[in-house]
Chains A and B, each alone.
Chain A
Amino acid sequence: MQNKIYINGLGSISAQPEDLISGEAIRVYDENIFSAISPNYKKYINLKAFRRMSKGIKMGITAAQIALKEAEIDMPDSIITGTGEGCKLDTEKFLENLLDQNEKLLSPTAFIQSTHNTIGGQIALNLGCKQYNITYTQNSVSLETAFLDAQIQLREDPEMKVILVGGVDEVSARITSFRKLDGQLKQNPIKNIDLLKVDSQGTITSEGAHFFALSKEKNQKTYAEFQSVSIKNSIQPEEVTEEITAFLKIQNVNLLSIDAVILGVNGDNRYDHYYKDIQLDLFKNTPQLAYKHLVGDFDTASGFAVYLGANILKSGKVLEVLRLNQVECRNPRTILIYNQYLGRDHSLILLSAV
């Protein structure tokens, strides 16, 4: 029998306040690109290193520190990071510098910190961790790929006890705005809370970092059991039900025992039918929840869904603002998360209460 994996600590930085779960009012934005709320990063980051860091690196280190602190872990056995677009701020800074300086006399810092694996590397430097450290960049399944690696390692390697897994993406002026140019974002500004009411092409975007301390051992603070993750890069809309059914069968979980499903609906009328079909059929009697109207859609936004799912399983409470239907969610024990972006990169994550 394979060993279980538990979420013992989590850190979330997003466009919503960190106390959202405990009742703080949600933030409303009037733009289609909005920023994450910055905590006091200097509480978590060495001040000498701090001055060079872009927001993505600061968010990543801080969310990682919060997750480890919650799990009472000083040193993880692995650090696995997912990021769809990496350190865009330093990439832009370097490229602008390249143009301004006519490709000569370039600042080394922006170049060094422009690579996708900077975040995972800086987390390790901040901790002094010399263990396995890898970064996955697989569009909107970057975080899920990181989870998959962690799952394999925790199940196959007896030496592996605790793994820090997370996803980070940051907003930058130019590269993020390309999403508007190619129609990934709505052309006119909307309120984020109206995202799922507006019938038009595109979505809204933001940034964030979500880190999770995964362990083979549970403790009194454990949020949830991380049962499994599945990734399919390409699925036809009519195959979603079959994929979900097959995934649950492998996990030995009956469809009726899913107490809530967290969906990545993002208001893009070209692709939300991937969700609509299962909302109307497979999960019509299951509480359906959404989150991208709170934090926007970005490549690792599903980290917020895992954060919500883990908190719902621990507290038993579901925020009203998440609900897509009125089916009551009583004593949730098992939650399924389904996400896709632009009809590609489909992922399923199964969490259960401990």
Chain B
Amino acid sequence: MKNLRTELKESIIKELNLEDMEPEDISNEEPLFGDGLGLDSIDALELIVLLEKDYGIKLTDPAQSKEIFVSIEQMASYIEENRTK
């Protein structure tokens, strides 16, 4: 079974059209927003949709996303604890 962290990287690259990037180009601890991967607020909306579509996690409090979308590692941990599918 594919590692959740690799799966997440592949989904993010595909959904956010991160052209010329491969999963190995993104480290698990690298910040997703700001200086790291450089994602922005529209990407945050895409990630919220991705969490619900692929893992059945519905974020009701927007403030939560700031804590979850810190890095691939943080996202994976949250998914492991809260996924419904």
Chain A interfacial positions (CB closer than 8 Å to B): 48, 50-52, 101, 105-109, 112
Contacts and interface: CB of A to CB of B under 8 A. Distances in A.
B49 A52 contact: no
Contact of A105 (B19, B38, B42, B49): B49
Contacts of A107: 15, 46, 49
B40 interface: yes
Contacts of B19: 50-51
Contacts, number: 25
A52 B17 CA distance: 7
A101 B45 CA distance: 16
B67 interface: no
22 contacts: A48-B38, A48-B40, A50-B19, A51-B16, A51-B17, A51-B18, A51-B19, A52-B17, A52-B42, A105-B52, A105-B53, A106-B49, A107-B46, A107-B49, A108-B42, A108-B45, A108-B46, A108-B49, A109-B42, A109-B45, A109-B46, A112-B42
A106 B49 CA distance: 7
Interface of B: 15-19, 38, 40, 42, 45-46, 49, 52-53
A163 B74 CA distance: 48
A101 B42 contact: no
Contacts of B17: 51-52
A46 B22 CA distance: 20
A107 B53 CA distance: 10
Contacts of B42: 52, 108-109, 112
A50 B40 CA distance: 13
A101 B46 CA distance: 14
A101 B53 contact: yes
A285 B51 CA distance: 69
Contacts of A101: 53
